[in-house]
Structure 1
Amino acid sequence: VTFECEPGTLSESKVHTLRELGVTRLSLGVENFSDAVLEENGRAHLSREVYRAWDWIQAASFPNVNIDLIAGMVGETWDNWHDNVQRTIDLFPESVTIYQMELPFNTVYSAGILNESKESPVADWPTKRAWVKYAFEQLAAAGYSCSSAYTMVKDPGKVNFSYRDNLFQGSDLLATGIASFGHVSGVHYQNLPEWQQYIGTLEQGKLPLGRAYTPSTRQQLIRELILLLKRGYVEFEYYQRKFGVNILVEYSNVWEEYQRDGWLNILEDKIVLTMEGLLRVDGLLPAFFEPEYRGVRYT
């Protein structure tokens, strides 16, 4: 049972209440240990609150704690990133999740780039990939193992991601909260995006559904292919058994191109991404999309 925590809004009483309620895993959204970077990016916490929250979490004896970092926040540098990684290793959480910063179109920074031709304040993709690679290498040297394109775990025998793995394989997900996404009986849906709409609909005894879509069997295969590839590998037998499709043959041109580029290796029973492929996996996925969905951006 996982609970996401923001260091700036966490309190000692909340931590102990969560433990008493049966929460077994906390994910702490550290993002960065530099106060200057956190302030520049408008975050609601500073480093002192990270360490304060960490002490509370350790005192409550949670069996599983994750730390989230973001590579490429505005103001990030190599020196600061080295410090971020070392501070994370010093805390030695059960898992570390690292995301590469991407600017949505609806931000002030993006408006300046698009409308005023300003230079992006976020590091370029090669630099962000280099930062994540450095972090993965340092974490591996400290005893961590790679669990996905974003996550390193201290003990694979203890830390597993049943939510992630089941969701990636098409299991149902009941969504609660405004604008949240769910998946039930093969139907994708999103709840209403505004609080008053959401609450008003619930008070009427109705589900607060905003929109829904039923994917075809082909689209379900694509969904599970691109999601499971984020773990770093896909096994042929799984798709043959579930969808009756040989993905090695079906996407042979894509696999062969990516193998030539050095992003993956084709084995007898599966595809395995190389480290360079893992670092750019999100950029590899559109090749599997149906043509009309390639190049479409949600934000």
Structure 2
Amino acid sequence: MTGVDQEKTGLGNYFIANYPPFSFWKADYVPDALAALNRPPVPGTPLGLYLHIPFCRKRCKFCYFRVYTDKNAKDVEVYLNAILKEVELLSQTACIDGRKLDYVYFGGGTPSYLSATQLRGLMERLKAIMPWDGAREIAFECEPGTLQQHKLQTLKELGVTRLSLGVENFKPEILQYNGRAHLEEEIHRAFGWARELGFDQINIDLIAGMVGEDWDNWRSCVQKTIALDPDSVTVYQMELPYNTVFSKELKELKVIGNDEPAHSIADWPTKRAWVRYAFDEFQKAGYDISSAYTVVKNKAKTQFVYRDALWRGADMFGTGVASFGHVNGVHVQNVDTWEAYVEKLNKGEIPLGRALPVTDHQRLVREMILQLKTGHLDRDYFQKKFGADILTEFADGYAKLESEGWLIVTPNGVELTPDGFLQIDRHLPAFFEPQHLSARYT
């Protein structure tokens, strides 16, 4: 593949969320996952809970998650009962061993699709099974158009600390064409209610490079976000994973490198320029860069516990259809269809679909590449935890990336350069084990 081809926005995953790649996770390893659930944890390992709420008003054309837009109230009840049953089964496994939840994350799909009554019933029953009173973070994803003031009040009463608003863009035409269901006025209304209710942290998500985006509108989106003054902002670069509506329409999408009309998608250099502009503007407004995708208003009080715990090797129960998790050195994923998920839980079975035992070296690589996204690696951290000197063991990879200008090696670790922040995911395979280098990521 030529350098020009690599800079086009084509099919496939750019964002690296885990290691080893998902394509190596197999159903044959499910017995290893069950064994991991039934042994005590490594002392000192935090435990988190992820809940996948797979309902949406519309399916975003760039979404590759397991979501449903055709379920009725009875279906929702069936699913919520199933996920509660899954949490109950997991709460009885030996890997709990008295641990309290460090964080809870409601993702989707659209968790805020649920009514206030449904949310209260779900959360109160969850707390009875697996209390989260001592958790450092309760994070909740929202689609602005699904929010009402009383629903936000319910979330605040039930202990949600970080509210993440999936804004993505402000322009109605772009939102509509990309499959988003909300409108700009709903963004401002929902944000205002959330601010009035005093949530500890309000995060806004943006996507650089949605189909139809151009420079003028992107500048407007950044300035409108700054005007809202959220506690943190997450900025993703648009990609085209397999199994999305856009991946099937790729031939119809014009790949561009500058301003073009609607139904075009920016190439990677353009998207990186947009993210650079956003980060520069946020920094001028008093934000600090927290990772390759996030800026925060106040580093002292603004946290991403879910992210940081996972990137430092925490265990996590990933509950819900097709959900991912990690327990006692084994990556796990649930079965990926509604029918199989509900059926297994009706039988009283933990609904695992595939898994992968991870070696000590792979755990080291995983933590190292994920933490590199924060812009900084602490040499001593890896020496103490893994007994490994990352600057020696991965010297060739770091030397290559340093020579290309993506990072700087220091006596104490590694620091990303500004250019490195914009495209670190692209360079993480430099540290993959040989058998994973040419494999499909998912």
Check whether TM > 0.5: yes
**SS of residue paired to 1:28:** strand
Q: 2:237, 2:271 within 8 Å by CA — same for their partners in 1?
A: yes
Q: Does 1:193 align with 2:336?
A: yes
2:314 corresponds to which of 158, 171, 185: 171
* Deviation, structure 1 residue 298: 3.9
Deviation per CA, 1:113-144: give whole Å up to 9, x if none.
3xx58633321111111100110010000000
Residue equivalent to 1:287: 430
C-alpha spacing 1:219/1:128, structure 2 compared with 1 (3 Å) = same
- Alignment-derived partner of residue 203 in structure 1: 346
Structure 1 residue matching 2:254: 3-state secondary structure? coil
Deviation at 1:10, TM superposition (A): 2.0
Aligned amino acid, residue 163 of structure 2:
L
How many residue pairs align between the two structures? 297
- CA–CA separation in structure 1 for the residues paired with 2:253 and 2:169: 25
**Is residue 22 from structure 1 mapped to residue 22 from structure 2 by the alignment?**
no
Worse overlay, 288-297 or 177-186: 288-297
d(CA) in 1 for partners of 2:345, 2:154: 27
Give the corresponding residue for 1:241: 384
For residues 216-253 of structure 1, what are the alpha-carbon distances to aligned partners after superposition, in whole Å with 9 as ceiling and x for unaligned? 11111111111111111111111111112111111111
Residue of structure 1 aligned with 2:184, choices 22, 42, 47: 47
Report whether the alignment pairs 1:119 with 2:254: yes
Instruction: Indicate the percent of aligned positions where both proteins have the same amino acid.
Output: 54
TM-score in terms of structure 2 length: 0.65
Shift of 1:68: 0.3
- Is the partner of 1:280 in helix, strand or coil? helix
5+ residue gaps, structure 2: 1-137, 256-263
- String of CA shifts for 1:23-82, please: whole Å, max 9, x gaps: 111000000011111011011111121112112212221121000000000000000000
Residue in 1 that maps onto 2:293: 150
Q: CA deviation at 1:291?
A: 1.8
- After superposition, residues 48-197 of structure 1 pair within 5 angstroms as 48-113=185-250, 116=251, 119-120=254-255, 121-197=264-340
Query: Following TM superposition, by how much is the alpha carbon of 1:12 offset from its aligned partner in structure 2, in angstroms?
Result: 2.0
CA contact (8 A) 2:161 2:200 kept: yes
- Residue of structure 2 in register with 1:266 after alignment: 409
Decide which of 204, 207, 230 is 2:373's aligned counterpart.
Answer: 230
Residues in 1 aligned to 2:201 and 2:380: alpha-carbon distance in whole angstroms: 32
- In 1, the alpha carbon distance for the partners of 2:200 and 2:309 equals 21
Against the structure 1 CA distance between its residues 117 and 250, is the aligned structure 2 distance closer, same or farther, given a 3 Å change threshold?
Answer: farther
Ranges in structure 1 where 5+ consecutive residues have no aligned partner = none
d(CA) in 2 for partners of 1:227, 1:137: 23
Instruction: State the alpha-carbon separation in 2 of the partners of residues 200 and 107 from structure 1.
Output: 26
* Aligned twin of 2:83: none
2:253–2:265 Cα contact (<8 Å) kept: no
Farther off after superposition, 173-182 or 157-166:
157-166
Partner of 2:144: 7
Root-mean-square deviation (Å): 1.4
Q: In 1, Cα distance between the equivalents of 2:171 and 2:441?
A: 30
- 1:16 CA displacement: 0.8
Code of the residue aligned with 1:119 in structure 2: it is: K
- Higher RCO, Cα 8 Å, sep 6+: 2
Which deviates the most, 135-144 or 6-15?
Answer: 6-15
